[in-house]
Chains A and B, each alone.
Chain A
Amino acid sequence: MDRSLSTRLVGAVLRCYPAHWRRRHGDEAAELAALLIGDGTPAASIALSYLAGAARERLTPRPGRRLSTAACALLVTACSLGVSAALLASTVPARAASTSQTSGRAHCRPGPAEPIPGVIGAMDRPQVIIWEAVHGRSC
């Protein structure tokens, strides 16, 4: 490969690294690549090594980045909890409405409940006890 083409290839790959890395190692990395190419190392293999290094550098969590990752995770959790809560809240009134009609009869209300045909008249006792006897519930 032509030397200037090799240099351009390595330069392009080095631009894949984060800016802070380039500030720290950029010049030295370019010089090292030139020395290795001078020794006969194929430019493509150097470029590939730098490309893998750039990917690793971008994917590895750094101490400074760990906080922002944690903050993002917290935000996502909060959002999903919020959505779940909203979904739950939208279904609860409907469920409450559907169950209140049946459970309203079942529990110990002192007032007169709906009479059970054939039972109340015969026993002449408070309806709540009759209901319990029939359904096996207690308050």
Chain B
Amino acid sequence: MAADRRDGRAGQDVLRRVGEASVLILISLADRPRHGYALIQDIKELAGVELGPGTLYGALDRLERLGLIESLPADDRRHPYRITAPGAAALRVHLDSLERVSAAGRLRLRLGGI
């Protein structure tokens, strides 16, 4: 049941309250593992958001505690992080939810003629 809550199998959007930085990190890790510096660069390119290193490590710790990402063995001093299966499921649920909200917003703008 705890796993259900974590990975979004129960259909709940567990990423709603984790903050934008955590969602961006999960999106960045969705295709392959990355370490801190690569994450900052990728998120800057992907979303135009410059994550501060303090924010990055706070979000990484939180996501790791939630079991949504895991750290891989360090190469040199850098720890690459990888999205877990529950993390991917949670991200999918969150993106679906965003899409629904986005579609509703566009529809209302059209209906309002704005």
Contact = CB atoms under 8 A, between A and B. Distances in A.
B36 interface: yes
B58 interface: yes
A35 B61 CA distance: 21
Interface stretch (A48-56, A84-92, A120-128): A48-56
Contacts of A81: none
The interface centre, meaning the residue of B37, B54, B74, B79 with most chain A CB atoms within 10 A of its CB, is: B54
Nearest to A49: B52
Given A28-B36, A32-B36, A53-B58, A46 B77 contact: no
B64 to A, nearest CB: 10
B54 A36 contact: no
Interface string A57-69: 1000001000000
A45 interface: yes
Interface of B is mostly: helix
Contacts of B54: 48-54, 56
A130 interface: no
A27 B77 contact: yes
A29 B57 contact: yes
B106 interface: no
Interface of A is mostly: helix
Nearest to A54: B54
Given A29-B57, A36-B37, A57-B58, A52 B52 contact: yes
B53 interface: yes
Interface residues of A, number: 22
Given A25-B57, A53-B54, A31 B40 contact: no
Nearest to B51: A49
A50 B53 contact: yes
A35 B74 CA distance: 17
A33 B53 contact: yes
B69 to A, nearest CB: 14
Given A28-B78, A52-B55, 14 more contacts: A21-B61, A28-B74, A29-B53, A29-B57, A31-B37, A46-B53, A48-B52, A49-B54, A50-B53, A51-B54, A52-B54, A53-B52, A53-B58, A56-B54
